[in-house]
Structure formats: C-alpha cells, structure tokens
Chains A and B, each alone.
Chain A
Amino acid sequence: MNKSSITEIVNKNLKTRYKKEARFQRYGQFSIFVAIIFLVIFFTSIISKGYTAFNQAEIRLNVNLDYEYIDPDRTGNIEEIRYGDFDGIVYEAFYKLFPKVKSRADKRELRELLSSGAGIKIQRLVIEDISLIGSQIDLWLPLDDEVDMLLKGNIDVDLPESSRRISDSQINFIKQLQEQKIIENKFNTTLFTSGDSRESEQAGILGALVGSALMLSITFMIAFPLGVAAAIYLEEFAPKNRFIDFIEVNINNLAAVPSIIYGLLGLAVFINYLGMPRSAPLVGGLVLALMTFPVVIIASRASLQSVPPSIRDAALGVGASKIQTIFDHILPLALPGILTGSIIGMARALGESAPLIMIGMVAFVVDIPSSPLDSSAALPVQVYLWADSPERGFVEKTSAAIMVLLTFLLLMNSLAIWLRNKYEIKW
C-alpha cells in the first residue's frame, strides 16, 4: 500500500470520526442544558414562593407601657412582670387608631388583625429593661398572618366573604391603616430567631437549624472515624477470604437500605431498648451515623484503592512498617477522596426525613434545643411539617425553610470542595 492511498483512506474516515466527536459533544451539551433547565425551574419555583417569607407585615403603634397592665402592684419583680397583660397594652394602642369602633364584635375583628407575637415582643422588651414601664414608645409590631397574606396579594378579595378568612370590615380597617402609612413590610427576624409555632407569623427555623447542626456533628463524629478505620482495616489488613467478601457484600447492601429502616432500628434499639429520649438530636445523629457509616466505608475504600501501588512499594522498600506506610503515605493521598465522599454522605443524611420521623423528631417543638438530649426539630422534617399545615402563611415558610436547607447543603458541599483542594497533593 503506497503512501498516498493511506492518506486517502484516513481522509475518508476522518470526516466520520470528527462527526462522531461533534455528535457526542452535542449529546453532552444537551444533557447539561436539560439539567440546567430543571435547576432553574426548581430554584425559581422555590424562591418565587419563598422570598416573601423573609418579610413580614408590621404596624407602628404608639404603646403606653402602663403599670396597670404590666405590674399593677408595682412590685418591680420580674416574675410578676412576666405575667403582665401585654396583649391588653397592644389592644389599647390599636383601638385608639379606630375611635369610631365601639361594638364588641368589631373590636374582636380588630384584635384578629394583630399577631399574638405583638404582646410577646413587648414582654421581651420590658423584661430586658424594666425602666421602660410607665413610658410611652413607638414600636413596630407584627400583624396577623392573614393580614400579611392579604398585603402580599395572596388573598383574593373578590371571593365571597364567607370563603376567605378575612372579613370585608377587616379589609376596610387595613385600608384605613395603609392610608395612615403605619403598615410596612419589615425584614422577618423571627424566622431566624425562633422555633416552630402554630402561628405562621411567629414560626421560625432556628430550632430546626440548631437541631440539624447538632445531629450532623454527632453523625460526623461517629461515622467518619469509624468508617475510615473500617475501610483501612478492610483494605490494608483484612485477610482476603470468604468472610471478608461476605462483609463487603453486606456493607454495600447497607448503603442501599432505605433510610426508614434505619429509623425503625433507631426506634427499637436507642429509644425502646436503651431508653434514650425521643425526638432528641442525639438519637437522630446516631441513626444518621448508622446510615452514613457504610457510605463512608465505601468512599474511603475506593479512595484508598486509587493510591498507586508504587507508593506502597516505595514506603515498604525503605523499611516503613505497615502502619507507617498507611499513615505517612497512603492516607494523605486518599484523604481528599475520603473527605469528599464522607461529606456527600453527610449531605444526604442532612436531607433525610424518614428515619427522623420514625424516632419522633416530627413532634411539634417550640424551644430551641440547647443540648443533644433536648427535644428538637430538624430542617427536612420542618419542611415536611410546614408543607402539611393548612394555613396560607406556611406555604411561603415552607419554601423559606427549603431555601435554608439548600443553603446549608451548599455550604457543606463547598466545604467538601475546599477541603479537597486544600489536601490534594499535586503530582
């Protein structure tokens, strides 16, 4: 075969080869395009539903912190003051804005416009600074979630009165307040500073956030060292026999067991048998650790296997013992992979709700947990709970909670990438 004919043959094939390449690239681009479309739909739907939750309708009231309401016997004792009639103070200030309203029914309608959080806000202020008692101050106080929804345009005022939860006269009152320009949308700090509540305008995500963070730290502290140790043993020390094969198959199986089964196991072992408290981040963390454990083992083993055998030879060749070879040479090279795999496993654990429901973390918990033994909510379960609430106000709260969860995930995954780059050894 002479030279020119080879050129011809190659030339003939060349076109189809490049075509194949271009086609494959287009497939790839198309897949990424589809993925991006879904992401955009996902984020716009969540953000457009949820961003309003970061604001909350508030009213500026001139409240009179009268001794009569707060501390009629003038004891100056915090415990007495705590049980003062703070709602009364709010109502009095509110009625003053509507001098013409006299009937009890109308007054009740007015009261419904206010959030019960208004009184609580004043109570907190007064307890912090008793010297405020007796003075008169301007305060921004939260309005009821129905008002909030109305102002955010989520309530159709054209519906017949009987099928909305806000009456014509109430809408009228709001209009008057708006004309006086004392209603405003303020940043909703409550969302980030309080726990769950039956009233959507008082419900916050902090309890769930703290609960999830506590759980994840427990998960990490248990699953990471145990998982890495198990992987090192299986990879480097274990004899290659049937029994180890059997263990390996089981670990792979465990990684695929539905999470709810871990929840059942946690319920049976930790709560019923060992008597640990229900709804506690400790139990949640243990259950999630069980779930993450096989994932850490698998990721760590894959990472250990990918260390080139020549490094092992080099270390053993200069007389390093097995454990020195592992800790001085193999583990540093495997660490980025181990960390990335483990954090991805943890991120999955963070988003898990089924096992937490099994161990009672679905309970309604108002307080923010201060230790892993306290009752607590968790982010994914909070999403589930709020999504299940009939009140309109919880719709946007649900999306807001999802956004917080996604931010948490984003932080974890960024941490994974940062750690990988930090510990990656350049060859």
Chain B
Amino acid sequence: MKNIDQHNVNQKKEFETVGSISSSKDVVMSVKDCNVFYGENQALKNINLEVGKSEVIALIGPSGCGKSTFLRCLNRLNDTIDSCRVTGEFSLEGEDIYSGDMDVVLLRARVGMVFQKPNPFPKSIYENVAYGPKIHGITSSKRELDELVDLSLDRAGLLEEVKDRIHSPGTSLSGGQQQRLCIARAIAIKPDVILMDEPCSALDPIATEKIEGLINELKENYAIVMVTHSMSQAARVSQRAAYFHLGDLIEVGDTKKIFEDPEHELTKNYIHGRTG
C-alpha cells in the first residue's frame, strides 16, 4: 500500500496540470484539487479544471480513466453512491458546490446531465420531458408546458419522429431515440451548465450532426462539459479539451493545440490511436 501511494505521488508531480483558462473569459465552474475514492480505490487524483461561459469542453481519455466520475462530481450525483468519497473545492459561479449552503436540488437544476446510458423514465415521452419543468414550476400554464416540451424535443431532433405518439412510453423508443429524449429532458429545465456523457455514442451520423448542431447552439448561452470517445467530434464541437489518463488529468488546453501539438507523450499516443 505504502509503495503504491509513493508511486502515485511521483506520478502526480510529473503530471501536475492546471486546467485554468485565460482570465479574460468568465469562469462558470471551477474545480481545485479534486480527489475521488470508491472505497479504497482512488478514481481521480488532484484534478484542477475550470469551465468557462459559452464554451464546450471535451473530456477525452481511455475507458475507465474517470471521465464519468468527474462529471458526476460536478452535480454531486456521486453523493448517492455510498462508497464514493469526494474531496476538493468545487464552485459554480463562485458558490461552493459541496458546502452546506448549496442546495443540491437547486444545483442539479442549474447543472443538467445527460447520462452515458440512456435512462428515460418509464413514463410517456411527454412526461419525460415535462417532469423537470413541472417540479421546478418553470412554466405557468399547460400550454406553456406543452410548448416547452415540443421545443425541447425539437432541439434534440426527436420531435419529427415522435410527435404522433408523444404519450406512448419513452422506454419504447430505440436506443438512439432514448438518448435524444434524455437530451430533451436535460435542456427542458434550461440549466446553466450541461454535462453530457457520450451523448452521441448510440446515434447515427445524421442524428449526431443534429446533436452537434444543438451543442453549438446551446453553447451561446450555456457551458457544456462533454465526454466523447470520438476524436473527430471533439475536434468539431469543443473549444477546449482535457485528456484524462488513469485518474489523472494529463493535459488541458485549446482543442486545436491538443490535437495538433500535444505537450504530453500520453496525449499524443492516445490521439493518434497508439497505446502507450
């Protein structure tokens, strides 16, 4: 155990990376010294990252490196896992996310999430999208709610396909349709930050294009943190990219720079499809 700890420390020094962004942009979310443990296992080590307004930041890295874990820290969804322990400083527009003053319900209304595996409620398509606005009281009338549901479905590129069966169960949709339904559900509550965990992994190129268009559109007003395994997608939609490796944040910077001239050997190998 001691040995491994020692090893980790060495590694950390070597990989120390600060994900700060140039001060001209305003920071929406910032994470300092984030460590996450599942029981004895450390899943994330000393992560420092900032998310700016009107930007898409792509999280890339091999499977199991802790990307989903990191996303779930940002809306405190890891709180629901008993074995999970999170340390570090997290703030959303200057407010401490993990402090007692932060209401977790409010936090999750402001930080929306699309999950890696589509997880629609076993209710109708309409109910899936309307649930968030309903519990938060975003709309004041049934008509307004209907409009919001339609708009959200449309932006997620699903309305055309489901408008005749909006009251049939959301779980009866195909995998890709379910994923778009989850996106519609997330954007219906108009969050400040949207966390997307591989939103296009189950989608065909056309639907993917639609979602990428949506992301481009959304980033005007929102900050988006997106996990993706597609390098080309990261290059297309993100302004900045962060490379994770075995729980470490190896490198973060402008997407263009990361792809064209990565500083770190590991990043280079990953981007060029070589295993280090």
Contact = CB atoms under 8 A, between A and B. Distances in A.
B102 to A, nearest CB: 13
Interface string A314-340: 111111110010001100010000000
A3 interface: no
A313 interface: yes
Given A319-B105, A319-B135, A333-B122, A314 B77 contact: no
Contacts of A425: 122
A104 B182 CA distance: 94
Contact of B109 (A319, A328, A426): A319
A314 B106 contact: no
B80 A313 contact: yes
Chain A binding surface SS class: helix
B75 interface: yes
Contact of B75 (A310, A317, A320, A333): A317
Contact of B80 (A312, A321, A324, A328): A312
Given A313-B80, A426-B169, A318 B115 contact: no
B115 A314 contact: yes
A150 B47 CA distance: 93
A427 interface: yes
B14 interface: no
A324 B121 contact: no
A417 interface: no
Chain B binding surface SS class: helix
Contacts of A324: 135
Interface residues of A, number: 22
Interface string A46-80: 00000000000000000000000000000000000
Interface in B204-245: none
Nearest to A333: B122
Interface residues of B, number: 27
A319 B132 contact: yes
Nearest to B133: A318
Nearest to A332: B122
B191 to A, nearest CB: 9
Contacts of A329: 121
B253 interface: no
A311 B170 CA distance: 13
B85 to A, nearest CB: 13
B199 interface: no
Contacts of B185: 314, 318
A100 to B, nearest CB: 83
B131 interface: yes
B113 interface: yes
Given A319-B189, A426-B169, A311 B132 contact: no
B80 A240 contact: no
Contacts of B113: 317
A311 B105 contact: no
* Interface-central residue, A313, A315, A317, by most chain B CB under 10 Å: A317
B186 A317 contact: yes
Nearest to B191: A319
B186 A319 contact: no
A405 to B, nearest CB: 38
Interface in B75-99: 75, 77, 80, 82
B121 A315 contact: yes
B77 A317 contact: yes
A310 B72 CA distance: 13
Contacts of B61: none
Given A311-B121, A329-B121, A427-B122, A320 B80 contact: no
A240 B77 CA distance: 18
Nearest to A309: B80
A316 B80 contact: yes
A313 B115 contact: yes
B122 A318 contact: no
B117 interface: yes
A37 B213 CA distance: 67
A23 B9 CA distance: 58
Contacts of A319: 105-109, 132, 135-136, 189
Given A311-B122, A318-B112, A319-B105, 17 more contacts: A308-B119, A309-B80, A311-B121, A313-B119, A314-B119, A316-B77, A316-B108, A317-B115, A318-B131, A318-B185, A319-B107, A319-B109, A319-B136, A319-B189, A320-B105, A324-B135, A426-B122
8 contacts: A240-B82, A308-B119, A310-B117, A314-B119, A317-B75, A317-B113, A319-B105, A426-B169
The 9 closest A-B pairs by CB, nearest first: A319-B109, A318-B132, A310-B119, A319-B108, A317-B113, A314-B119, A425-B122, A427-B171, A321-B105
